[in-house]
């Protein structure tokens, strides 16, 4: 597998520069979000944005502002986050991942880079995002997956969860699954795919949508778990969507099980 | 999957007590060995034995000495370590894992327990041990597997490695693959199985033997890597075994990729 193949989708390669002579570079990023206060830079540290921008500044000798495809919350991981930034520095694009990794902590790792057209935005150009949510169903936690999964050793009716999941597909107002609805211009999103699948002891929930509201996947998973343990009927999802009220859906699943897996362009 | 099913093999269940009225209890243990100085108790801390014995003493209110199936080295992990200990305490065997986990760090986790006959020894009764060695072959390390694998982003001829591996099977003097041969009564061991298999970006080497010498799997993997990168011919393994000299084999692979996966009784 070559480095180029590891970049998701087929980003349009372009060495074109903007009015200030800068290239636009997209980077594929993986991180263990444990201990980070989320992606977005804020007063408190550490955040993913802060360590990446600090690393790029050290490398390129100029201030850098990165734009991510998704602003993951505190404790949430990514194996397929994408961000872009602009630079007039001479570094060859193929060398960006190794150079950036040399100044990043081992928990945040660039996996690839591409030169993209000046108008490309990792956020606005994205057509879809895929999140995985992992639940470890074994009786006792595993020291190997404990950082990346929610340990849930109680029985769940996966068929009922998938029945409820089907009702989430399509274009809906997901206000009931959003923690900061007031800050949003629109809480309408299109969910392409939601599915729970048990692989050995790990229940993997995959959610694919055009875009996500804040807390949306964790609210979806928490609601599906309520269905799986019999607290909610699978048919109740339509009513929860219609309520347009966060209190109508289930409690948020813990952040450590969530991972931004892929961004489609 | 029930708790009993998670215990490897079919240990003979027995509530029989020894002359001092103590039961013999076997425990299945998983641990992330990163940061531990190995299994065996020594002057410096932390070791797996020390945290487990301290935990059991806190639980059972009497001194406890545990016997493991394999004394893993510093930085080596286990998903299928087995140890046994004797106790006159009244705790039901089925409650041992949860009770022990409540006093262990989250990196060391009991996965099951069984009451076994008084003469059972996790070490002497074992018929075989299985180790996995993981090598992450992707161009850049993964923040999710970095603690449990050796990042090796260079090409390897896996077919040549497996040809060399075949020459290790059988009963041989493995002195060339042992770091403390002088301390051993015998350096003869029987290797049942050695095989390298690439799954996506992960090269998994599985080694199964009746018992292992200190440093044996890491020396085997280091030697196979020398074959895979063309430094050694696959046919050279017979000569390395015949040399009966640690310097004849390859350098030890790093400990973090190694995991004691299973013990057979």
Residue B8 has pLDDT above 60, yes or no: no
Q: Does A32 touch chain B (CB under 8 A)?
A: yes
Catalytic residues of B: 73
Residue A8 has pLDDT above 60, yes or no: no
- State residue A9's pLDDT score: 55
Question: Which among B110, B148, B201 is the nearest to A140, CB-wise?
Answer: B110
Question: Once rounded to an integer, what is the mean pLDDT over residues B178-190?
Answer: 93
Choice among A18, A73, A180, A245 that is catalytic: A73
Question: Once rounded to an integer, what is the mean pLDDT over residues A108-116?
Answer: 95
Contact B142 A79 (CB under 8 A): yes
In chain B, % of residues over pLDDT 90: 92
Residue to mutate among A80, A142, A144, with most B CBs inside 10 A, is A144
The tokens describing B36, both together, are 């531990």
Rounded CA-CA distance B248/B197 in Å is: 25
Per-residue pLDDT tens over the stretch B231-245: 999 999 999 999 999
Tokens 């490695």 belong to which residue?
Answer: B161
Rounded CA-CA distance A165/B105 in Å is: 36
Contact A111 B79 (CB under 8 A): no
Per-residue pLDDT tens over the stretch A29-79: 999 999 999 999 999 999 999 999 999 999 999 999 999 999 999 999 999
Q: Chain B residues with CB inside 8 Å of A80's CB?
A: none
In chain A, % of residues over pLDDT 70: 96
- State residue B2's pLDDT score: 41
- A236 — alpha (psi -120 to 50), left (phi > 0) or beta? alpha
Mean pLDDT score of chain A, rounded to an integer?
95
Residue to mutate among B96, B109, B142, B143, with most A CBs inside 10 A, is B143
- State residue A4's pLDDT score: 44
Which segments within chain B are labelled E, that is strand? 23-31, 67-68, 77-87, 108-116, 128-136, 150-151, 170-173, 188-199, 202-209, 258-264
Q: Chain B residues with CB inside 8 Å of A111's CB?
A: 138-140
Residue B54 binned pLDDT confidence (cut-offs 50, 70, 90): very high
Contact A144 B201 (CB under 8 A): no
The tokens describing B59, both together, are 């639980």
Q: Does A141 touch chain B (CB under 8 A)?
A: yes
Q: Does B141 touch chain A (CB under 8 A)?
A: yes
Asked whether B41 and B49 are in contact (CB, 8 A), the reply is yes
Q: Which domains does chain A have, with CATH numbers?
A: 3-116 (3.30.70.580), 128-264 (3.30.70.660)
DSSP annotation of A63: -
Residue B3 binned pLDDT confidence (cut-offs 50, 70, 90): very low
Tokens 């390859």 belong to which residue?
Answer: B250
Tokens 């770091």 belong to which residue?
Answer: B179
Q: Chain B residues with CB inside 8 Å of A108's CB?
A: 143
Element (H, E) at A27: strand A23-31
pTM: 0.94
- State residue A6's pLDDT score: 57
- The DSSP secondary structure of B184-229, one letter per residue, reads -S--EEEEEEEEEEEETTEEEEEEEES---TTHHHHHHHHHHHHHT
Per-residue pLDDT tens over the stretch B81-92: 999 999 999 999
Asked whether B76 and B258 are in contact (CB, 8 A), the reply is yes
Cα A248 to the chain's mean position, in Å? 24
Q: Chain B residues with CB inside 8 Å of A105's CB?
A: none
Residue B172 binned pLDDT confidence (cut-offs 50, 70, 90): very high
Per-residue pLDDT tens over the stretch B11-48: 888 889 999 999 999 999 999 999 999 999 999 999 99
Q: Which of residues 228-257 of B touch A (CB under 8 A)?
A: none
Write the burial class of residue A179 (CB in 10 Å: 0-12 exposed, 13-18 middle, 19+ buried): middle
CA distances from B82 to B64, B127, B219 (A): 15, 13, 23
Q: Chain B residues with CB inside 8 Å of A109's CB?
A: 140-143
Q: Report ipTM for this prediction.
A: 0.91
DSSP annotation of A118: T
Q: How many CB pairs under 8 A join A and B?
A: 75
Q: Pick the residue with more confidence: B183 or B63?
A: B63
Residue B148 has pLDDT above 60, yes or no: yes
Mean pLDDT score of chain B, rounded to an integer?
95
Contact A143 B101 (CB under 8 A): no
The tokens describing A132, both together, are 């995985």
Q: Chain A residues with CB inside 8 Å of B257's CB?
A: none
- State residue A249's pLDDT score: 96
Residue to mutate among A100, A101, A143, with most B CBs inside 10 A, is A143
């Amino acid at each position: 597998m070559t480095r180029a193949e590891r970049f998701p989708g087929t980003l349009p390669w372009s060495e074109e520069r903007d009015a200030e002579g800068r290239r636009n570079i997209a980077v594929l990023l993986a991180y263990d979000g444990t201990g980070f206060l989320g992606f977005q830079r804020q007063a408190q540290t550490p955040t993913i944005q802060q360590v990446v921008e600090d690393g790029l500044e050290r490398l390129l000798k100029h201030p850098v502002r990165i734009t991510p495809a998704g602003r993951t919350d505190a404790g949430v991981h990514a194996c397929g986050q994408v961000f872009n930034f602009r630079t007039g520095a001479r570094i060859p694009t193929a060398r960006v991942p190794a150079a950036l990794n040399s100044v990043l902590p081992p928990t945040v790792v660039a996996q690839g880079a591409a030169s993209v057209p000046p108008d490309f935005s990792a956020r606005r150009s994205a057509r879809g995002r895929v999140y995985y949510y992992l639940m470890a169903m074994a009786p006792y936690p595993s020291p190997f997956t404990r950082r990346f999964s929610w340990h849930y050793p109680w029985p769940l009716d996966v068929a009922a969860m998938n029945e409820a999941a089907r009702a989430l597909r399509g274009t809906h107002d997901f206000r009931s699954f959003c923690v900061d609805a007031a800050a949003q211009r629109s809480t309408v999103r299109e969910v392409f795919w939601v599915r729970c699948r048990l692989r050995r002891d790990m229940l993997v929930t995959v959610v694919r949508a055009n875009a996500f509201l804040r807390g949306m996947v964790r609210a979806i998973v928490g609601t599906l778990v309520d269905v799986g343990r019999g607290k909610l009927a699978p048919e109740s999802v339509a009513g929860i969507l219609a309520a347009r009220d966060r209190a109508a859906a289930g409690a948020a699943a813990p952040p450590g099980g969530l991972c931004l897996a892929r961004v489609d362009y």
